[in-house]
Structure 1
Amino acid sequence: MSEQPSTKPSQTQLLFAAVVVMALIVVAVFILSSKSEQPVENEKFKQDVVVPAVEPAKPINTAQSQPEPEPEPEVVETYEPEPQPEPTPEPVEERIVEAKPAEPQLPSLDESDAEVQQSLGEYLTEQSLGLLMTEDMVRRTVVFVDNLAQGKLAKKHAPVSAPVDKFMALESDIIITDPNSFERYTPYVDMLTQMSNAQIVRVYRKFQPLIFEAYEEIGYEGEDFNYTLNEAITELLDTPIPETSLPLIKDSVTYSYAYPEWEKLSDAQKQFLRMGPANMKRVKTKLEAVKKSLAN
């Protein structure tokens, strides 16, 4: 019958276990005592030994496993433009500028009568030219128009001659103007209507420098004559045209209008009445058109 192995530990095993336990206890006591005691530094050793300062380690970014690559230098391509051919200059077109004809020089005011007659002779008949005063024509016209604008008559400075026929009246129960007396003014009206509006303005513009000069001689600003001429035309346009013959009053060798509303008119307007209704209408139509042409 074979022997069963013994289950009890041997003395040798017990002794080894006891030694191991004692070693563990000694180690534990040593560790515990080293934690409770403060270590004493060796001052001399501390003075002799210089401990280098340790820089703190930079945190490592674990998200980047590879170092960032350095950027490659940018390559700048240089481009040299191809030389362009110089543009061929366009031929310069020679422009021929025609010189404007110089405006004809006007004669002096003292020597202007012949020039005025020649200009008017291009538009008027011989009969009409015969009605004009041929001496100091510009000065006469300026003075006459200046007085006319004020409602006056400067008979000594009239630019036309006086009618040959005399004024006539019909004397009966009442005194009225003889209608035949109106006809003595018809040639003057014909002279005015022979020229177109453009022709009248053309002559006026041509001799305007001399007209301004003559106006300055009598004490005004030359350019103010335009205003004066407009006032003279307005004075005549404002004259009423009678529908019937006007009764007159004889004062010695002169006549006056019997109705106060007609007698109170200016001398220029009463002279205009002597032309008669038919001639007055023709003159007014012409003056209205000339006034508009001068304003443009």
Structure 2
Amino acid sequence: MSEHSSTEPRTNKKPSNSQLLLAAIAAVALIIVAVFVLANKENKPAENTKFRQDVVVPEETPKTVVNTARQEAEETKKAEITANAEPESTTDSIEEPVVTVTEPESRPVEPVEPVLPSLDESDTSVRDSVASYLSKQAMELLVTEDMVRRSVVFIDNLAQGKVAKKHYPVSKPADNFMVIEDDLIITDPNSFERYTPYVNMLNSMSTAQLVRLYEQYKPLISEAYEEIGYNGNEFDYTLQEALGELLETPIPESNLPLIQESVTYKYAYAEWEQLSDAQKLFLRMGPENMKKAKKRLQAFQRAIAN
């Protein structure tokens, strides 16, 4: 038997009925909470179908690879074009008054005259200029040596009614003068044909071309005219006189009878024989050639008189 040294008496305590009831209620509540938590973990929450219908899910579009370097270059180019473009006019812009500036009248540009060669070296230039208007066959009729001087001397003699035989500007006809001897001696019509190529050469050039050639080489013509003792500026008058001498030659309407003197012939009628040597040379061309030549010479005479 054990012994106790306590002075107070030993007592045996038991829980009350109210305490036991609270403990039971707490235990039941814990059990209910544990069961609810476990049930939520195993079952997923049901979807709200109404909410799902109302929400529009955007479709995914395929991603494209963008060349940023090219895009930047194009944007830069567009920006430059926009910067350089003229600004569009708007209706709100203020119109400036128009000022009319009267420009001074421009003076006509004077044509530059070609530089002429010297008189001694002018044959090539004159020949080339004439050749631009004439055929090769016609050019063969010209004497191409000292052309300006030769023509000036020949025209000066024509103005005086003479023929400078040593200064013919054209070659002499290849065929000889021919006559028909019968009761009367007359010129053979075939002799007139000797001069047809010369008349054709004259008519192959227009009046304007003849004037152009004359004006082009007029300084050299005046120089050549001075060489033979005249005033160079007076050659226009001399040329007019020479043309007038030929144009005053009458055109015969019938064959003219001739008289033979030694190896030459002269006209039987005094009115024809008294014509100047220049006019009688013109007669040798025959009526038809004279008419054609006169027409061109008259036009040339009028042109240089203006």
TM over 0.5: yes
Partner of 1:168: 178
So what's the TM-score if we normalise by structure 1? Answer: 0.67
Any idea what the Cα deviations from partners look like across 1:223-253, whole Å, max 9, x if unmatched?
A: 1100000000000011000000000001111
Any idea what the Cα deviations from partners look like across 1:252-276, whole Å, max 9, x if unmatched?
A: 1100000011001000001110000
Separation in 1, partners of 2:109, 2:280? 52
Structure 1 residues 128 and 92: alpha-carbon distance in aligned structure 2, compared to 1, 3 A threshold: same
Partner of 2:304: 294
Separation in 2, partners of 1:97, 1:199? 27
What letter matches 1:249 in structure 2? I
The question of 1:214 aligning with 2:227 is answered no
The question of 1:258 aligning with 2:268 is answered yes
SS, match of residue 135 in structure 1 = coil
Separation in 2, partners of 1:100, 1:222? 24
The question of 1:230 aligning with 2:240 is answered yes
For 1:71-150, list aligned pairs within 5 A: 102-150=112-160
Which of 178, 186, 189 is residue 179 of structure 1 equivalent to?
A: 189
Unaligned residue ranges in structure 1 (runs of 5+):
1-88
Separation in 1, partners of 2:106, 2:183? 80
Structure 1 residues 237 and 92: alpha-carbon distance in aligned structure 2, compared to 1, 3 A threshold: closer
CA RMSD of aligned residues (A): 1.9
The question of 1:204 aligning with 2:206 is answered no
Separation in 2, partners of 1:93, 1:268? 59
Which of 255, 279, 285 is residue 289 of structure 2 equivalent to?
A: 279
SS, match of residue 245 in structure 1 = coil
What letter matches 2:254 in structure 1? T
So what's the TM-score if we normalise by structure 2? Answer: 0.65
The question of 1:190 aligning with 2:200 is answered yes
Separation in 1, partners of 2:173, 2:194? 6
Which of 245, 249, 259 is residue 239 of structure 1 equivalent to?
A: 249
Structure 1 residues 90 and 111: alpha-carbon distance in aligned structure 2, compared to 1, 3 A threshold: same
Separation in 2, partners of 1:92, 1:236? 56
Separation in 1, partners of 2:102, 2:269? 80
Partner of 2:46: none
Separation in 1, partners of 2:167, 2:274? 24
Q: Percent identity?
A: 64
Q: How many Å apart are 1:103 and its aligned residue?
A: 1.8
Separation in 1, partners of 2:174, 2:303? 33
Structure 1 residues 97 and 240: alpha-carbon distance in aligned structure 2, compared to 1, 3 A threshold: closer
Structure 1 residues 91 and 110: alpha-carbon distance in aligned structure 2, compared to 1, 3 A threshold: same
Any idea what the Cα deviations from partners look like across 1:43-100, whole Å, max 9, x if unmatched?
A: xxxxxxxxxxxxxxxxxxxxxxxxxxxxxxxxxxxxxxxxxxxxxx998979998965
Structure 1 residues 215 and 91: alpha-carbon distance in aligned structure 2, compared to 1, 3 A threshold: same
Structure 1 residues 92 and 208: alpha-carbon distance in aligned structure 2, compared to 1, 3 A threshold: same
Unaligned residue ranges in structure 2 (runs of 5+):
1-98
Number of aligned residue pairs: give it: 208
